[in-house]
Amino acid sequence: MKKFLLLLIAVFVFSLLLANCKKAAKAPAEGTMKKAGSVSKSSNTEDILLTEKEVQGFIKTFPVVKKELEKLGKKVEGKNMNALQAIRTGKDAEKTLKKLDSVLKPYGLSTVTFFGTYGKIAQSYGMLSLGGPEKYYDKLIQTNKSSLNVPNIPEETKKQIEQNIKELEQQKNSEETKIIAQNCKILEKYKDDIKTIFNSK
């Protein structure tokens, strides 16, 4: 799984570079088409929000993506590449990305959005494994509160613990945590499938 994850990251970076290059080439023309005062709709919370459709698409397409990346990995593995071989490998990666895009398209995904979904699922699944965000933060808050009962605790340490509790309570009630809680509810339905994916070699 470790080798696969490294390859996953490498191809993700490559796909982002490819996407950014295409955007840069279109930028001047697109800039003239934008209306004055238009605002891009993006936020940190939107970046972590999962939909059930995304999760279903990810589960269905993961085996295909894994297979294609492993094929690419075998071409690269153990090679001391010169410049020409590196270019060929880059072309192989680009072909793989195009193939993946065609496979992912029916599920409403692209290579870039697939890896984005992978990251969102990993983050929320990690929290689900800890019992969900509410349980996680409640446990941390309770641990900190218990520390305040230690005899002869220095005043400075006490203030720091109280500050920690305040920050944890803010994080527990944050919009980001609420969204992760929603994500966890979705992932709970597909917990076995996600577990199999993350445990695959």
Span of 15-19, 34-38, 158-162, 191-195 with lowest mean pLDDT: 34-38
Span of 40-49, 76-85, 87-96, 190-199 with lowest mean pLDDT: 76-85
Q: How many CB atoms lie within 10 A of CB 74?
A: 9
Query: In angstroms, what CA-CA distances link 182 with 59, 133, 193, 201?
Result: 18, 10, 18, 29
Mean pLDDT value of segment 160-186: 96
CA 180 remoteness from chain centre:
12
Look up residue 41 and give its two tokens: 């709709």
Give the pLDDT of residue 141.
Answer: 96
Give the pLDDT of residue 140.
Answer: 96
pLDDT band per the 50, 70, 90 thresholds, residue 64: confident
Short-list 120, 121, 107, CA closest to 47:
120
| Phi-psi category of residue 153: left, alpha or beta, with phi > 0 → left and psi -120 to 50 → alpha | beta
Judged against a pLDDT cut of 90, whether residue 15 lies above it is answered with: no
Judged against a pLDDT cut of 90, whether residue 73 lies above it is answered with: no
Q: What is the pLDDT of residues 46-56, one digit of tens each?
A: 788 999 999 99
CA distance 11 to 4: 10
CA 184 remoteness from chain centre:
14
Rounded to a whole number, what is the distance in angstroms from the first to the last CA of the chain? 4
Judged against a pLDDT cut of 80, whether residue 32 lies above it is answered with: no
Give the pLDDT of residue 169.
Answer: 97
- Check if the beta carbon of residue 133 is closer than 8 Å to that of residue 184: yes
* Residue 35 main-chain phi, psi, to 5 deg: -80, 150
pLDDT band per the 50, 70, 90 thresholds, residue 201: low
